[in-house]
Amino acid sequence: MAHIAIDARIINSTTGRYVERLVTYLQDVDTENEYTIIVPEKDKDFWKPRNKNFTVQAVNFANYSLGEQTGFNRFLKKLNADLVHFAMPQQPVSYKGKKVTTFHDLTLLKTYNSDKNWLVYHTKQKIGKYIFERVAKDSDAIIAISKYTEKELLEFFPSVDKDKISLIYESSDVSTVAPKKYSLPFKKYIMYVGQQSDYKNIKRLGDAHQILLAKYPDLGLVLVGRKNAAALTNEAYFNERNYKNILFTDFVDDANLSWLYSNAQAYVFPSLMEGFGLPGLEAMGYGTPVVSSNATCLPEVYGQAAHYFNPEDTSDMAEAIDQVLSDDKIRTRLAKAGYKQIKKYSWKKQAQEGIRKGVVMPPFLLTTRLCNSNSTL
């Protein structure tokens, strides 16, 4: 029996859906190894194991903090796991144990968020670049969640050994929680799910929605996600322009989210850059047509199951959404293609393919193989 630790400090966040699903599925497929799931103190009750080999341990080490580099490093040394799977590259750079790291994207190194202090943010970028490069070089294996992310990694850090990078897409399992109606001030709506940093392009989505109101005066725009500083910045932008029919939900639970996905006229993903784009696949699982930016990894992940637009062209975005709203044939085609597309993205399918090919495997198989190996892949 090996002892595997999973750094799940992001578990209660948008990106955290990745690690939450990973540890949930791990319980069903690995009954031999011992796992320690590391979460923030504030989220110690967010995820509860049902497998006796899994324990949750809470810590108080924030990303990009001095405590992460010192206290968290000491914590991991004391834990003495055979392997640590870091769900993000934010980690103690001096940790010398065997480790696998998941890289979702490199947006931190390429963007600026207007709700942040310029000096603080750019200092964080410089620190982030140093940490990311060290982590990429020192990790025994790297998981890239799309070909685009793998390509970015090698472009930013050309000295990283390409052979230790495994392309492993995220999963898109549809929630089994019964939908619970979410009260809305409008009957028909388009929606977006996720954080609202500048690169998510929410202001242009709001601009496009207002164009659509000329043809669909009762159409709502529902923005699902925590109402943090970035969301408040977007809300202020909309209020200054007297935009109508836009709702910021703040956090919603899985039951409400299922209902919102199921009843939306379309899911719109306006992002300027992504590493994967999980919410669009989630929408496909509910039969909801997806209208997406054609930037970065999104055509790779969504394939023919989305209707694309140029995310820097508000008119093109509005036109693409209008085409989906007004054409039942397009809606039906997208719904059918979406159901087909999401079948490509599940932990179970990846496990079967990994075993068959002996090459590509989901994170839990990569983790356990590394743990039982004296070398990298």
pLDDT, one tens digit per residue, over 61-103 is 998 889 999 999 999 999 999 999 999 999 999 999 999 999 9
* Residues paired with residue 191 on neighbouring β-strands, in sequence order: 222, 267
Q: What is the pLDDT of residue 351?
A: 47
With contact defined as beta carbons under 8 Å apart, do 276 and 297 qualify?
yes
- For the record, the structure tokens of 332 come out as 């039906």
Pick the CATH number of 189-342 from 3.60.40.10, 3.40.50.2000, 3.30.70.2740, 3.40.50.460: 3.40.50.2000
Tokens 């989305």 correspond to what residue? 306
Predicted TM-score (pTM) of this structure: 0.85
Residues 6+ apart with CB under 8 A from 15: 88, 104
Strand order in the sheet with 34-40: 54-59, 34-40, 3-7, 83-86, 99-103, 141-144, 165-167
Dist. CA 144–CA 157, nearest whole Å = 14
Q: Which CATH superfamily does the domain covering 3-171+346-371 fall into?
A: Glycogen Phosphorylase B; (3.40.50.2000)
| Total count of residues recorded for the chain | 377
3-class SS of residue 55: strand
Assess whether pLDDT exceeds 60 at residue 136: yes
Which of 80-94, 148-162, 303-317, 344-358 has the largest mean confidence?
Answer: 303-317
What are the start-end ranges of the E strands in the chain?
A: 3-7, 34-40, 54-59, 83-86, 99-103, 141-144, 165-167, 189-193, 220-224, 246-250, 266-269, 290-293, 307-309
pLDDT tens string 7-49: 999 999 878 888 888 888 888 778 888 999 999 999 999 999 9
- Asked if the domains at 3-171+346-371 and 189-342 fall in one CATH topology, the answer is yes
* Average pLDDT, rounded, for the chain: 89
Tokens 């409008």 correspond to what residue? 186
Q: Residue 361: pLDDT band by 50, 70, 90 thresholds?
A: very low
Assess whether pLDDT exceeds 90 at residue 6: yes
CA dihedral (325, 250, 65, 236) positive or negative: positive
With contact defined as beta carbons under 8 Å apart, do 169 and 301 qualify?
yes
How far are the Cα atoms of 64, 90, 136, 137, 151 from residue 108, in angstroms, in the given order? 12, 11, 15, 18, 16
- DSSP for 107-121, written as a single string: HHHH---TTS-HHHH
Dist. CA 263–CA 298, nearest whole Å = 23
Angle between helices 147-156 and 118-138 (to 10 degrees): 100
- 113 versus 246: the higher-pLDDT residue is 246
Assess whether pLDDT exceeds 60 at residue 359: no
Dist. CA 322–CA 216, nearest whole Å = 9
- For the record, the structure tokens of 345 come out as 């993205």
Assess whether pLDDT exceeds 50 at residue 376: no
Residues 6+ apart with CB under 8 A from 326: none
- For the record, the structure tokens of 78 come out as 């004391």
Helix and strand numbers (H, E) in the chain are 15, 13
Domain boundaries, the chain: 3-171+346-371, 189-342
